[in-house]
Structure 1
Amino acid sequence: MRIIHILNHVQEIGNGIVNVAVDLACLQAKSGYEVAVISAGGEYEKLLNIYGVKHYPLDQTRKPISIIKAAVRYRAIAAEFQPDIVHAHMMTGVILARIFKGNKYTLVSTVHNEFQRSSVLMGLADRVIAVSKAVRDSMAKRGIPENKLRVVCNGTLGSPRTRQIQDYQPLGLQRPAIATVAGMYQRKGIAELIAAFEQIAPDFPQAHLYLVGNGPDKQLFEAQAQATSVKERIHFEGFQAQPQRYLISCDIFVLASHRDPCPLVISEAREAGTAIVGTQVDGIPEALDNGQAGLLVPAKDSNALAGVLMKLLSNADMLHEWKNRANQNLQWLSVTRVHQETLAVYRELITG
């Protein structure tokens, strides 16, 4: 089987879509398949090369002249590589792959960001992989035929991009430490997390908040933090190539997203054995074993989030229990399971 993955770039910037695609490409090549990645390039090219994955540069910038050039280039790559499967992870890729498909190969897409209106275009593929049951249900409601949809929940443990969790060096965070690892976007609930921390901070004068990640709304959040009376205890750490160091060093990990199809960071936080608080949206409950492995709160509700943080910080036994619970039942979050289930989708199409 010859497999092409097509995505916008392979930069090491904490992008979950890129991370999933790179994991799959590496594991597929390791299993003996011929694998290529088409993208605008980035730091992960070195890792792909180590695993024997061929990388073809392709600029898919959404400008008319760029799209025309990309179409010509994509057609030449497909003719040279002659894939059996093209797996598209982003919108432009699925359109390019569909235009030149004919009966030359089978097209698979993965819906990573179902909340984007244009994600319905992923339905152009022969099979559409949803990264959680919540995403599958949403895409079915939006008109993608159910017989096209398959669920392969995200999992990242054992990823070729990362080390064993015990090989990361802990950080000297000021504790109790609350942390998030997320893009600095409004939809990630950073504003609610800062508001919740401001609410509880007077009762826990030793507590600090660490915000790990970059993004377009970072300045808004920095201004919000500056306006609090506890600004010196809110730390913007920027993008970190080893977020695991924060996960193993903090007491509570929070993901306060408004929308989140199936965040990879939940599996990483669970492996790190930190107590987890997540919002009850999209794929977050699934990633937390429906509340068995982490506490769930309503989205966009800083008061509810503050209430849970207050309980955890004021009860050492409860905090310890939720650290243990996060660390149970991890095997299903492995990247090997994602790899095997994805291959099963491919085989359905090739042998079916």
Structure 2
Amino acid sequence: MKIAIVRQKYTPYGGAERFVAQALDALRAQGVTVDIIARAWQGDANGIACDPFYLGRTWRDWSFARCVQKIIAADRYDLVQSHERIPGCHIFRAGDGVHATWLELSTKPWRLSPWHRYTLAAEAAMFRHPDLRAVICNSKMVANDIARRFPETTGKLHVIYNGVDLAHFHPGLRAEYRQVTRAKLGAGETAPVILYVGSGYERKGVATLIEALAQMNTRSAEAWIVGRDKHEARYRRLALRFGVAERVRFLGAQSDVRPFYAAADLFCLPTIYDPLPNAALEALACGLPVVTTENCGAAELIRPGENGAVCAARDPVALAAALDALLAGDADVLRAVARESVAALTPAAMTAQWLDLYQRCLAGAPRAGQAGRL
């Protein structure tokens, strides 16, 4: 079987890109020939350059899509699986969710932007394209949303959760890294630490986390922000305005986040919209309770009060209450249930589901996947 996976650009910090790299290794281990089609790619993947000239992100995405469509038309691959919104791909992995939904949940006038208009049109054309055989959804939330917006996808939607490397992310990291990481940052051994991991602070709710920290009863709690955002200074000012600047640490992007999972007590992602963030899975695998929102696919894995909590987005009062309650809970029980909740989400299990889907796509029209059981 010869597969091409399309992702426009890889950077070592992005969760989606790390997931693609993990998937490539897992598929090759099963004897599948996999090429990556990209503008740029880091690592040892078999790369097919698709890097036409562009100016601006609208032209960037359009020209890349045209380049990929030419490769598809050349019939070099049994299946082309795109992680970008490109009409004509055989399989689409909706790892970024539904763009139309993100625009509706955002408070900004995005529709004035040519890029957002292009992305909406490309998304609709892709879901309605006759060559689309299957859509891999990384959460039921995403599958239900696509089915509601695009009835044409009925029978093509398959919920396959991301795999998480349970040997790389595990509770034993706590003993290895917790004390040394806290000492390095000058944090006390007993200070409650709430960890956030991710880039794109606006969409992922960093402002809500900062405001919630100011409203918590646990006045010694700290928020550690791991990730990058070009508007970081704005969030530093927000922390200062809420009087918690000394309790919010902006730690930048990290090539290895495991020491921070180990040093933290809770993981918090109060996102406005997130299909299924890998960071949440990694946190659970490390035994960290996760607090997230109803607009996050990770909420499907949360058993409130047992391994985390689920709040409404943009609700700092509810978020503060949830964080306080979990910090007052039985830490050992919370960590054990957190780990157990992702025990079945291994890369091997994910790969087996992908391979089964590939075989069904190649055998003919795919039968209804998990879409009928959401």
| Structure 1 residue 319, shift from structure 2 partner | 3.5
1:8 corresponds to which residue? 8
Q: From 276, 281, 290, give the equivalent of 1:262.
A: 276
Query: Does structure 2 retain, via aligned residues, the 8 Å contact 1:294–1:325?
Result: no
3-state SS of the aligned residue for 1:157?
Answer: coil
Q: From 60, 72, 75, give the equivalent of 2:70.
A: 75
Q: Which residue type is aligned with residue 150 of structure 1?
A: H
**Residue 170 of structure 2 corresponds to residue 154 of structure 1:** no
In the alignment, structure 1 segments of 5+ residues that lack a partner are 102-106
Q: From 337, 356, 363, give the equivalent of 1:344.
A: 356
**Residue 91 of structure 2 corresponds to residue 108 of structure 1:** yes
| Structure 1 residue 166, shift from structure 2 partner | 4.3
Q: Which residue type is aligned with residue 192 of structure 1?
A: T
| Structure 1 residue 323, shift from structure 2 partner | 2.2
For these two proteins, the number of residue pairs brought into alignment is 326
| Structure 1 residue 338, shift from structure 2 partner | 1.4
Q: Distance in 1 between matches of 2:283 and 2:61?
A: 39
Matches within 5 A, 1:1-352: 1-13=1-13, 15-42=14-41, 45-46=42-43, 49=44, 53-59=45-51, 62=57, 64=59, 67=62, 71=66, 75=70, 79=74, 82-91=76-85, 94-95=86-87, 98=88, 107-117=90-100, 118=120, 119-123=123-127, 124=129, 125-143=132-150, 144-158=152-166, 166=172, 169-170=177-178, 171-172=181-182, 174=187, 175-200=191-216, 203-288=217-302, 292-313=306-327, 315=328, 317-352=329-364
| Structure 1 residue 72, shift from structure 2 partner | 5.2
Structure with more relative contact order (C-alpha pairs < 8 Å, separation 6 or more): 2
Q: Distance in 2 between matches of 1:306 and 1:75?
A: 51
| Structure 1 residue 59, shift from structure 2 partner | 2.3
| Structure 1 residue 253, shift from structure 2 partner | 1.0
Q: Distance in 2 between matches of 1:326 and 1:178?
A: 15
Q: Deviations over 1:11-44 (max 9, x none)?
A: 112x2322222222221112111110011224xx
In the alignment, structure 2 segments of 5+ residues that lack a partner are 101-119, 365-374
| Structure 1 residue 189, shift from structure 2 partner | 1.2
Provide closer, same or farther for how the CA distance between residues 261 and 76 of structure 1 changes in structure 2, counting only shifts above 3 A. Answer: closer
2:111 corresponds to which residue? none
Q: Distance in 2 between matches of 1:292 and 1:308?
A: 12
Q: Which residue type is aligned with residue 113 of structure 1?
A: D
3-state SS of the aligned residue for 1:333?
Answer: coil
Query: Does structure 2 retain, via aligned residues, the 8 Å contact 1:266–1:288?
Result: no
Q: Which residue type is aligned with residue 325 of structure 1?
A: V
| Structure 1 residue 292, shift from structure 2 partner | 4.8
Query: Does structure 1 retain, via aligned residues, the 8 Å contact 2:308–2:326?
Result: no
The more displaced of 26-35 and 67-76 is 67-76
What TM-score does the superposition give when structure 1 sets the normalisation length?
Answer: 0.83
Provide closer, same or farther for how the CA distance between residues 308 and 59 of structure 1 changes in structure 2, counting only shifts above 3 A. Answer: same
| Structure 1 residue 121, shift from structure 2 partner | 4.2
| Structure 1 residue 227, shift from structure 2 partner | 1.6
| Structure 1 residue 193, shift from structure 2 partner | 0.5
3-state SS of the aligned residue for 1:147?
Answer: coil
How well do the aligned residues superpose, as a CA RMSD in angstroms? 2.7
Q: Distance in 1 between matches of 2:343 and 2:95?
A: 22
What TM-score does the superposition give when structure 2 sets the normalisation length?
Answer: 0.79
| Structure 1 residue 155, shift from structure 2 partner | 2.5
| Structure 1 residue 275, shift from structure 2 partner | 2.4
| Structure 1 residue 249, shift from structure 2 partner | 0.9
3-state SS of the aligned residue for 1:187?
Answer: coil
Q: Which residue type is aligned with residue 133 of structure 2?
A: D
Q: Distance in 2 between matches of 1:217 and 1:233?
A: 19
